[in-house]
Structure formats: structure tokens, C-alpha cells
Amino acid sequence: MALRHSFEKTGNFLFKHRGQFPLILFAIAVPVIFFTSNEFFLTSKTAYWSLLISSVCISLIGQIVRSVAIAKSAKQTSGRNTWGHEAKALNSTGIYSLVRHPLYLGNFFIWIGIVCFIGNPWFIAIATLLFWLYYERIMYSEEVFLEKEFGEEYINWSLKTPAFIPSGKNYKKSNVSFSVKTLLRREYPGISAAIIGFIFVDFVRNWVFFGEPQWLINHGVGLLSALLISFILRTLKHHTGILSEDDRS
């Protein structure tokens, strides 16, 4: 099998299972937390809150990037489907004129923020490498699909728009308005997963340090908030028309 065909096949497989990447990170994070010295962060409130706030800010950058991309996406563009690539229109304006894969760029910041909260510089480097190896194949297969689907239109856009590191050199304003409904309908799983990710790291770290589970109030509040947000928005999405819009995916 030619290398490009192998990349495409692997990318299509990973695309269908891209939601599993956080689970892989969580699984690896447990032994990393166990072998990471966190005494400094657990005995100094200033150090702990500095680490938490800086890590959350990194994740927020990613969430903002994703939110802009999703809330300003037109109908028949790519979505959260997992069965395969699908798009009837090419996103090439707004944030998509800055970077070709803003959703994956957002994912990177969200999950690296959680990884930073572990407090292990080596794991940050390893997670970055894993992210690149995982998503590089996905981006490749997605671009093969888009080139087949849109031909010269896609090629012209890709030649002037970077894949992953944004550039404002060829920015083109989007005519699509920012839709809060679209954002709430499509992004609540990711937001809830990020909240749970921070709680998971903090819970495991406390368990390792103190030798037994530490059920803290902020863990319970955060977990209940994430579950409540997901329950409410999922109910509104699947059982009402409140979040529906005819001109959005």
C-alpha cells in the first residue's frame, strides 16, 4: 500500500474514533501523576491556584477558538459526525481564513491545558507529540476528502491558509453570524469533558498524595455542573426545537 493511501486509511479510522483521544490521555495521565512530585502544588495554595488558573486559561483559549469556528459555521459544512467525512460547503472565511483546522487547534489547547495541570513538563512534551501523531493523520484524510469534494476551490484556499499555526495575512471576514444556539447545541459535550478532565487530574493527584480518595466540594460542584449542563442541553437538542436553526448544521 502506498504511503499516502496508508495515511488516508489510518486517518479515516482515527477520524471515526477521534473522541477516544481524551480517554487515551486520561489512561496515560494516571501513572504520570503517580510518578510526578506534586507536594509543592498541594502544600502551597498560591502555587496550586497559579497552576490551576494558568492551565484553565490555556484550555479557555482552545474553547474560544472552537466556539468561534462552530458558532460561525454555515449549513452543510463539517460537523461532529463520526461515521466519516461529510461536507457540502467549504469553510474558507472567518477563522477558516486564518487556519485550516481551527477545531483541532482548539482541541490541542483544551487538552494541553489539562495536561499542564498535572505539573509534569515531560508529559506536556509527550502529550504534544501524541496529539500531533494522532491528529496529523486525521487532518491528512480530511484534506484528501476536501480536495476530492471541492477540487480547485480547496487547493486555492489551502495554498494560502496554514494548516495549524494561524496567520492573519489572508484574513477574509465571514458573512455568517455568530450563533449561540449552534454553539450550545454542538459544543456542550466538549465543554463538559474539559471540566471533568480537570476534576479527574485533581482527584487522582490528591488520591496519590494523601493515599486515599479526597472528595472535595469543588470536585462535586464541578462534576454536577458538567453533568447538569450536558443533561439540559442534550434534552433541549433531542427533545425540543429550541436550539434548532434552519440555516445551520
Q: In Å, how far from its chain's centre is CA 207?
A: 27
Residue identified by cell 484556499 is 157
Do 162 and 105 form a contact (C-beta atoms < 8 A)? no
* Inter-CA distances, 60 with 63, 124, 174, 242, Å: 5, 17, 23, 26
Q: In Å, how far from its chain's centre is CA 175?
A: 25
What is the chain's pLDDT, residue by residue, as a tens digit (249 residues)?
566 767 777 777 878 777 777 788 888 999 999 998 888 787 888 999 999 999 999 999 999 999 999 998 876 666 555 445 566 778 889 999 999 999 999 999 999 999 999 999 999 999 999 899 888 888 988 888 888 888 999 999 999 999 899 998 999 998 888 989 989 999 999 999 999 999 999 999 988 888 887 878 889 999 999 999 999 999 999 999 898 877 666
- Domain 3-177 is found in CATH 1.20.120: yes
Grid coordinates of 213: 480518595
Do 174 and 72 form a contact (C-beta atoms < 8 A)? yes
Do 219 and 202 form a contact (C-beta atoms < 8 A)? yes
Would you give the DSSP letter of residue 213? -
Q: What is the dihedral of CA 171, 157, 5, 89, to 10 degrees?
A: 90
Length in residues, the chain: 249
Domain regions of the chain by residue span: 3-177
Give the H/E segment covering residue 121: helix 121-150
- pTM beyond cutoff 0.85: yes
Largest CA distance in the chain: 60
Of 59, 53, 157, 146, which Cα lies nearest the Cα of 105? 59
Grid coordinates of 60: 479557555
